[in-house]
Chains A and B, each alone.
Chain A
Amino acid sequence: EPEVTQTPSHQVTQMGQEVILRCVPISNHLYFYWYRQILGQKVEFLVSFYNNEISEKSEIFDDQFSVERPDGSNFTLKIRSTKLEDSAMYFCASRWSLETQYFGPGTRLLVL
């Protein structure tokens, strides 16, 4: 069964460093999302991407964040200058229609 994949599974970085989180969505899906989940808290929407552009973004998704679909398969989330509070699990998700979402396994980001 097709699945969303994410790399790396874990990332440790120093505060102020840039990180790039990578996702390969399911191949025929049209909508792509990034979410984050701080430990013990709810899944929070960051950004959605459709037709090669951002369609929605939350208040969390400030100028430190950016997303790209550099080729036909990868979907990346970049955090330019990480802060301690960016430590969280980051999930990529994709969907074919505006209904069922398929989540990746997540990247656990730890900012020291």
Chain B
Amino acid sequence: SQKIEQNSEALNIQEGKTATLTCNYTNYSPAYLQWYRQDPGRGPVFLLLIRENEKEKRKERLKVTFDTTLKQSLFHITASQPADSATYLCALDPSRSGGSYIPTFGRGTSLIVHP
């Protein structure tokens, strides 16, 4: 069955360091992968999308990599700030070649940035 895995343990880092979050998937051929931020009691907020033929995408302090061979995406926040503390969700849409366009989310990894 299709599975998306994100680290269930919270990631604690010091302000100014780079946070790296991992998303692994199995039995998927995603057309693209998305990262969202979710604050407690709020809806997910879209951050970045990376397509299957892209290796890396950047937006300000954020960077996403996508390795379809390893079936893994890494999400980096450089120069992290306490305001970056939130849960980060990975989401996949299946490939156009098969399956339907049902976005599937991982459980998310909680990031805590300490001042």
Chain A residues engaging chain B, CB cutoff 8 angstroms: 4, 33, 41-45, 48, 55-56, 58, 89, 91, 93, 98-106, 108
Residue B71 at the chain A interface, CB threshold 8 Å: no
Residue A100 contacts which of B38, B43, B49, B89 (CB distance < 8 angstroms)?
A: B49
Q: Among B100, B101, B105, which residue has its beta carbon within 8 angstroms of that of A43?
A: B105
Q: Is the CB of B106 within 8 A of A42?
A: yes
Residue of B49, B100, B102, B108 most packed against chain A (CB within 10 A): B102
Task: Indicate whether B61 reaches chain A with its CB closer than 8 angstroms.
Answer: no
Are A48 and B44 interface neighbours, CB within 8 A?
no
Judging by beta carbons under 8 Å apart, are A102 and B46 in contact?
Answer: yes
Are B104 and A45 interface neighbours, CB within 8 A?
yes
Enumerate chain A residues within 8 angstroms of B89, measured Cβ to Cβ. Answer: 42-43
Q: Flag if A105 contacts B107 (CB, 8 Å).
A: no
Contacts of B32 in A (CB 8 A): 99
Q: Are B106 and A101 closer than 8 Å at their CB atoms?
A: no
Instruction: Give Cα A105 to B101, complex, Å.
Output: 23
A42 CA / B107 CA spacing, docked (Å): 4
Q: List 17 A-B contacts (CB under 8 A).
A: A41-B107, A42-B107, A45-B102, A55-B100, A56-B102, A91-B43, A91-B44, A93-B43, A98-B101, A99-B34, A99-B49, A100-B34, A100-B46, A100-B49, A102-B46, A103-B44, A103-B45
Within 8 A of A (CB), among B91-115: 91, 93, 100-108
Contact residues in A for B91 (Cβ distance below 8 Å): 43
B46:A101 contact, CB within 8 angstroms: yes
Q: Which residues of A sit under 8 angstroms from B49, Cβ to Cβ?
A: 99-100
Which chain A residue shows the least CB distance to B105? Answer: A43
